[in-house]
Chains A and B, each alone.
Chain A
Amino acid sequence: MARIDPTTTRECALTSLVTVLPLAADGGGFQPPTINDFFPPPILFSGTWFEFNRVELVRIVAALVIVSLFVVAARRAKLVPGRFQSAIEWVLDFVRTGIAEDVLGKENAKRYVPLLTTVFVAILGFNLTGIVPFLNIAGTSRIGLPLLLALWVYVMYLGAGIKKHGVGGFLKASLFPPGVPPFLYVLLTPVELLQVFVIRPATLALRLTANMIAGHLMLVLCFGATEYFLVEAAPAMKAFGVLTFLSGFVMTLFEVFVAALQAYIFAVLAAVYLSLSIADEH
């Protein structure tokens, strides 16, 4: 063919660009993170029901740290708190006033402060293991732990509603919200049924897990790319390593923020679900 089609040349350029990128990755051996990071090989009791892997080890370490922090704080409690005791008291006070009393009101809050405090502190601790060196994976990045906490909240808010209104009263209050034209219940009641019994606990658990998975993948991507650029890539590419390292550092700080935010959102939503269950009928 004598005549050169301009579109052909453009496609050539595009094709070569597309082929170069994956080849560069293959040759250098850059390994992007996968979902398998969250399913490490077992280290104990392999093949049994009690299979024990790195994530569970991290969870146990985090749980021991949380419990010992609070035991030490309670043992050494003084009337005039020191720096460590003030920090612990600040967290407890934040959950009590900032979450429980804000959402539930002073009178109702009293009964649920222990639940909300446990949930908040546990999730904060298990989230923060994602950025602690050598642990490097959030205890909440597998669905089990968030699911357990979400089920606890689920049982508590169903129980609170039933205790306050009775089974029938609770179902009526939550499935047939007052002030709605009767024919709309055809639409509203199935949605509310799904909402109260499935969507609330499921989204509580999924939101936390997915946040931690996404955060871990981003961190691994940043630091994996840094390692690849600095060690294996061509000399001209090494400057990118500094960039990815900096973004990894920023991402680590962002993960601290996300860890606290997710603990806060989980606790606030738990409080909101409790308050919806025990709300008076209007």
Chain B
Amino acid sequence: MSSLILAAADTVSGNLATIGYGLAVLGPGIGLGILIGKTVEGMARQPEVSNQLRTTMFIGIGFVEVLGLLGLITGFLFK
């Protein structure tokens, strides 16, 4: 049985960075969900300020999104 596990360990190949990127997008994913959901909520409550809300949302998206992208970059940088 242990030889089988070893065989499995031999055949499973790939880069750990893939898992790292998967972990790295969890936080930004939750963040984007909250951010965009709350903006939609605000727009539904007060449609007259939706332009301002949209701009602010995109600024926030810029900050949140860069976290996920840093995960992508570090996967390539630290092999």
Which of B6-14, B30-38, B42-50 lines the interface with chain A? B6-14
Task: Please give me the residue from chain B that is nearest to A103 by CB atom.
Answer: B55
Given A203-B66, A210-B72: 15 more A-B contacts, CB < 8 Å: A5-B1, A11-B1, A15-B8, A15-B11, A19-B11, A22-B11, A102-B55, A103-B55, A206-B66, A207-B69, A211-B65, A211-B69, A214-B72, A265-B65, A269-B59
Binding site for A on B (CB under 8 A): 1, 4-5, 7-8, 11-13, 51-52, 55, 58-59, 61-63, 65-66, 69-70, 72-73, 76
The docked-state distance in angstroms from the alpha carbon of A11 to that of B72 is: 32
Interface pair B8/A18, CB less than 8 Å apart: yes
The docked-state distance in angstroms from the alpha carbon of A264 to that of B68 is: 19
Consensus secondary structure, chain B interface: helix
By a CB distance below 8 angstroms, the chain B residues around A211 are 65, 69
Task: Please give me the residue from chain A that is nearest to B79 by CB atom.
Answer: A35
Point out the residue from B4, B8, B62 that lies within 8 Å of A265, measured CB to CB: B62
Binding site for B on A (CB under 8 A): 5, 7-8, 11-12, 14-15, 18-19, 22, 35, 102-103, 203, 206-207, 210-211, 213-214, 261, 264-265, 268-269, 272
Interface pair B4/A12, CB less than 8 Å apart: yes
The docked-state distance in angstroms from the alpha carbon of A261 to that of B4 is: 49
Interface pair B55/A268, CB less than 8 Å apart: yes
Task: Please give me the residue from chain A that is nearest to B55 by CB atom.
Answer: A102
Interface pair A22/B69, CB less than 8 Å apart: no
Interface pair A8/B4, CB less than 8 Å apart: yes
The docked-state distance in angstroms from the alpha carbon of A213 to that of B21 is: 14
The docked-state distance in angstroms from the alpha carbon of A5 to that of B4 is: 13
By a CB distance below 8 angstroms, the chain A residues around B70 are 206, 210
The docked-state distance in angstroms from the alpha carbon of A264 to that of B59 is: 10
